Amino acid sequence: MAAIGGTQITCRFATTAVSAKIKRTSKVEKKANSDSSDNVAVQQQTGVRTRTLIYGTPIMMSESRNVLAQFPKPLNKRNIAKISVLNPRQLVLSPDDDLGSVPGVKLPSVSAILGCTRSSDTAERLYKWQQRIVRQKGLDGFKQYMKERVVIGSQLHATVAKYITNQERTDTAEVAEKLPENIRGYWQSIAPILKEIGECKHTEKALVHQRLYYQGIFDAVAMHKDQLVLLDWKTVSTGSAKQRSSTLKELYDDPVQLAAYVGAFNADRSFPNKVQRAAIVMANEDGSPGVWVDMDGNQLQQYWTLWLQRLTTFWTVMSNLPDNATADFVHKSTRG
């Protein structure tokens, strides 16, 4: 998989769905020495400790190397509720060092942190879904399916970015005619929504929160009904539970992810205009009307608080591990 906000994320699939649970430990052990050597080399060069991070399920694991090993200062849980996603200058947590720009040291991405801190029930549901797809398609079929999902998402994002950044926007029907068939339905789903989006300020920009030490890439920031809004495009497969979703509570970690992006955007002085709203835009594979799920200031603060709790959990686990130990967040199913 491509780099996410500067952090290289690679997906590793189990050899078989049945043997994955047994073999994962030996694979991690075989890599431990080389990973440890990499982390030691980075520490010798920079003076900053790093470690390897793995997360996901026994069927599909993601890995990131040379990730910052611990939060530089303890997060005071009592202060979390006081931190505002809309007014991040209130933050007083960071040391003087800008660890986000130290060569060889990678900050964890928003998606990685969320992947590492899922609840057991949520992780188990993901694992069971993966098992079901493997039973239907076989392991190779599952891998191909996941690769296709990534390609579809990337193509749709690129098409949307090109459209909303064009000052003389072409007709959406003309755009649809030029798209591959597997993308066309998604595009037709959100075309009416895209017509309502005004001037686009940014697309596909990398973010680094230099005080909370995480990174990510947001999809777009644009005008909508005279307000600046941070936008996140989501592709929804036919038959997916999300196809019937229209509220924030039904979208799993998506609102938490968006709040994390807004917090980093507003904390970054390179973006002079701050956002007070965000929206998740869901594009349906079958071309049915897309859904705009709005997040106002109060909702952003609510999910920002949840994000800070997840962030604190992540850094607490990372900081309590021995030097150079691999941070293993892979879900361990106890339900067979």
C-alpha dihedral, 114 to 237 to 302 to 310, nearest 10°: -10
Domains of the chain, by residue range, sit at 3-328
- pTM of the model as a whole: 0.85
The pLDDT of residue 74 is 66
Task: Answer yes or no: are the C-beta atoms of 112 and 9 closer than 8 Å.
Answer: yes
Report how far apart, in Å, the C-alpha atoms of 4 and of each of 18, 108, 153, 203 are. Answer: 30, 9, 14, 15
The pLDDT of residue 88 is 65
pLDDT along the chain (336 residues), means of 10: 37 37 44 58 69 94 91 68 68 52 84 95 92 94 94 95 86 92 95 95 91 92 95 89 77 94 90 92 94 94 93 91 92 77
Which amino acids are annotated catalytic? 219, 232, 234
The pLDDT of residue 246 is 75
The pLDDT of residue 211 is 81
Spatial distance between the Cα atoms of 326 and 322, rounded to a whole number of angstroms? 9
Q: Residue 212 in 3-state DSSP?
A: coil
Spatial distance between the Cα atoms of 297 and 305, rounded to a whole number of angstroms? 12
Q: Which of 163, 159, 140 is nearest to 151 (CA)?
A: 159
Task: Answer yes or no: are the C-beta atoms of 43 and 67 closer than 8 Å.
Answer: no
